[in-house]
Chains A and B, each alone.
Chain A
Amino acid sequence: MNEFIGNMDITAKNCNLFYGDFQALKNINIEIPEKQVTAFIGPSGCGKSTFLKIFNRMNDLVEGCRIEGDFRIGGIDIFDKETDVNLLRKNVGMVFQKPNPFPMSIYDNIAFAPRTFGITKKSELDEIVEKSLRRASIWDEVKDRLRKNALGMSGGQQQRLCIARSLAASPKVLLMDEPTSALDPISTGKIEELMEDLKKDITIVIVTHNMQQATRIADRTAFFLLGELIEYGNTDDIFTSPKDERTERYITGRFG
């Protein structure tokens, strides 16, 4: 079985994705370096979330979805028959736009993945729960109510809980699809700080509609339009001197 060890660079070669007859992604080639934050930007419907989801094979469940191309994380072909999808998803966590805690206690939310992977010893689970919540900067806020239902938390707390839940599986890559679009500036700030901290160990790819967020947190930025990757480079370069006129028009709000 393919193991995810070593360098966690992400690459896609000649990526095409179809929903039935509709081609949603067109010949995308990209190399995403490990332990950096890479932002995907572009107008709604440009394919950035679709592309993001490929990397933990979320599109496998979408009916009529067909994917062509070569996709590797840490050199491992993620669509290879030797690649265990569960193991892939353990290593490649995902956080969504809307916080989606399970309707159970805060503790059980975090312990869910480790239990799935066979950890049953309470002391071990306790340790993973505390460590994950601390890494997601939410431990101090919830340590006295770990047995309370997670649905009673605020939106910002729920989102950090979901990040903690992803971290409990010790992922090497974290995919984030507009993780702060429903949050207030304080919660957003906490999650951005968290990303800055996590990238020491984890490769992060984030879809965002917030240009300022991309400039603040992303080392590299990729601009998508109508299923194509238009421009990809250092964030500073993209936001001060984009090379493609379409990037310029989109980020300056003159698109369309």
Chain B
Amino acid sequence: MSIRKIFEDELAELKTQLVEMCRLTEQMISDAITALVNKDRELGKSIGVMDKRVDEYEMAIEKRCMRILLKQQPVAKDFRQVSTALKMITDIERFGDQAADIGELVYSMPGEKYIKELTHTKAMGNLAVKMVRESVNSFINNDEKLADEVITLDDQMDELFATVKTELIELIKKDGSNGDQGIELMMVAKYLERIGDHAVNVAEWTKYNETGVHQKF
């Protein structure tokens, strides 16, 4: 097998692992929201177990990238792809962390009736899953336009976060006993908002991969 072929196979394998890692975090975010809505403490707890697998993916991909850098000493687009993957996994790992944090929060919540409808929080969850999937897909498919879309979607995420925040402040102002749950729901919203930020980071790295310029949005 030619050296170039070995490199291309390594790169293909790297992308497969990235997609698997990403799908796992999508499932975790989705489960975290389901656990929250259904007050399913066991489902919340199980997300932590999935997070260990995300960490294993991160280590495996990191090792693969290091090996490619060492053995192939890639340049140009090859170099950008490997360095992009190496940077991206930090953000993908954070997707998992934030989902696991929500799961843990659900597990520790006493299961009382919610002080508000979770419409906006659910919308944030769906948006987070979409941004996560599209950010990683934009890299896999060399799709700069999709990366731009992810960056734009973050404005929606920020708006939703602002809405949830205002609602919760009002509820706590109205009745101090809403405080505990109000803060917990605020934390869930913040975790989801952070997932959006990490997806933007991934999209920025995709743009670097395509253009050679790394720009913060």
Contacts and interface: CB of A to CB of B under 8 A. Distances in A.
Given A253-B3, A253-B4, A254-B4, A240 B73 contact: no
A251 B211 contact: no
A252 B80 contact: no
Contacts of B74: 252
A252 B212 contact: no
Given A240-B212, A241-B212, A251 B76 contact: yes
Nearest to A214: B75
Nearest to B74: A252
Interface residues of B, number: 14
A248 B77 contact: yes
Contacts of B78: 252
Interface string A226-256: 0000000000010111100001100111100
A48 to B, nearest CB: 18
B75 A239 contact: yes
Contacts of B77: 248, 252
A222 B60 CA distance: 37
Contact of A212 (B3, B7, B73, B76): B73
A109 B154 CA distance: 70
A241 B75 contact: no
A252 B76 CA distance: 7
Interface string B176-217: 000000000000000000000000000000000001110000
Contacts of A252: 74-78
Interface string B64-84: 000000000111111110000
B73 A241 contact: no
B76 A242 contact: yes
Contacts of A241: 76, 80, 211-213
Nearest to B211: A241
Interface residues of A, number: 14
Contacts of A248: 76-77
Contacts of A153: none
A240 B75 contact: yes
A211 interface: yes
Query: Most chain-B Cβ atoms within 10 A of its Cβ — which of A237, A239, A240, A247?
Result: A240
Contacts of A253: 3-4, 7
Interface in A193-216: 211-212, 215
Residue picked from B7, B75, B80, most chain A C-beta under 10 Å = B75
A241 B79 CA distance: 9
Interface in B79-95: 79-80
B209 to A, nearest CB: 10
A211 B75 contact: yes
A161 B156 CA distance: 68
Contacts of A242: 76
B79 A239 contact: yes
B8 to A, nearest CB: 9
Nearest to A211: B75
A250 to B, nearest CB: 9
A251 to B, nearest CB: 5
B153 to A, nearest CB: 27
Interface string A58-96: 000000000000000000000000000000000000000
B74 to A, nearest CB: 7
A238 to B, nearest CB: 8
Interface string B50-71: 0000000000000000000000
Interface in B33-57: none
Interface of B: 3-4, 7, 73-80, 211-213
4 closest Cβ pairs, A-B complex: A241-B212, A239-B75, A251-B75, A248-B76
Interface of A: 211-212, 215, 237, 239-242, 247-248, 251-254
14 contacts: A239-B79, A240-B75, A240-B76, A240-B80, A240-B212, A241-B76, A241-B80, A241-B211, A248-B77, A252-B74, A252-B75, A252-B77, A253-B3, A253-B7
